[in-house]
Structure formats: C-alpha cells, structure tokens
Amino acid sequence: MFVRTASERDLEAVKALLAETWHATYDAIYGVERVNEITGQWHTPAALKARLSQPNSEFLVADDGKTIAGVAFAAATDDPKVVKLRQLYVLPAFQHKGIGSMLLEEIEDSFPEANTLRLEVEGANAPAIRFYKANGFTEIGLSNDCGATGSGIPALVFEKQLG
C-alpha cells in the first residue's frame, strides 16, 4: 500500500469508499437514510473534484495498485499554523493494517508550516476516537456543526500539536 495525491481518475473509487465506510461507521448512529442523505450531499463527484484544486490543502489516497483502501483530506484554516483534517477513512476490510496511520503521517508532513492539526469526530465513533488518541490527539471541545456549517451534527473536537 502506498500513499499518493488523489487525482480526478480516483474520484469514483473515493466516492464508493466514502459510502461504504460511512455506512459501516454511521448507520447504527444516524440510520441508513440519514447516511445516504449526507453522503449524497458531501461526497458527490463535483464536491470531491473541488478538493483537487483547493488551495493550501492535501487530498490523499492509499492505493495498492488495485484498490483505493483509504482517503484523507486536510486543509489549512484562516490561520496557516492550524490545519483541519476533514476526512480520514479506511475501508473496513483494510482497517487495522496501518493505512490510517500512513495517511495521517503524510497529512502531517504536507503542512510543514503548521503547528496544530485539528479534527472533529462523532462522539459515538469509539474506534476513531481510540485511533486519534493513539496518534497523539487530545479532546479540546465540542462542535455543533460537524462537517459543514449548519449541519447540526454534534462532534468532539480534537487537536494534535505538530513539530
């Protein structure tokens, strides 16, 4: 498995990966209908394509030549010292193989000027919380609009100091 920058040819596979991982992670929390609604809005080919050219961002995939098994997307905030990890997902069949850690490490390396990496995580997503804590993140607060302004989705906010 290797980590590389995503390209337009990856977008359908990334969309499918996000749908599968969201259903595996969130169906029990939000219900299938709500997960379909969220993935239908947030993970469209157009939304994913826009990330490819977003300034001060990194859009990565973990690829073994046959399968895109993971994806990560992060972007600098208004403060260039703070980067927000907006997505890090690994297909269920590929979890616990170090892929998430590889993606996270590459995100950290992609923003050498940053001193803080921030993310939001669903409070009921215990596996993700364990992963982030094991990778040096600490909980610093709460968000009421995880993923998008006005989403109404509550989340825990975590940060990791870089460098």
- CATH number (domain holding residue 65): 3.40.630.30
**Residues 6 or more apart from 50 whose CB is under 8 A from it?**
none
**What pLDDT digit, counting tens, does each position of 90-113 carry?**
999 999 999 999 999 999 999 999
* Total residues found in the chain within this entry: 163
CB atoms within 10 A of CB 104: 25
In this structure, what DSSP letter does residue 131 have? Answer: H
**pLDDT (0 to 100) of residue 80:** 85
The answer to whether the CB of 122 falls within 8 A of the CB of 128 is yes
pLDDT at 129: 96
Structure tokens at 77: 């905030």
Number of domains in the chain: 1
Flag whether the pTM goes above 0.75. Answer: yes
List the strands of the sheet with 2-5, edge to edge: 2-5, 57-63, 68-76, 82-90, 116-121, 155-161, 138-143
User: 140, exposed or middle or buried, with CB in 10 Å at 0-12, 13-18, 19+?
Assistant: exposed
Residues paired with 83 in a beta bridge: 76, 117
Which whole number is the average pLDDT over 48-57? 94
Whole-number Å distance between alpha carbons of 92 and 76: 28
pLDDT band for position 147 (cuts 50, 70, 90)? confident
CA dihedral (123, 127, 132, 137) in degrees, to 10, reads 50
The reported pLDDT for the residue numbered 163 is 77
Helix, strand, coil abundance in the chain, percent, nearest 5: 40, 30, 30
149 pLDDT tier (thresholds 50, 70, 90): confident
pLDDT over threshold 80, residue 35: yes
Beta bridge partners of 5: 60
Mean pLDDT across the chain: 94
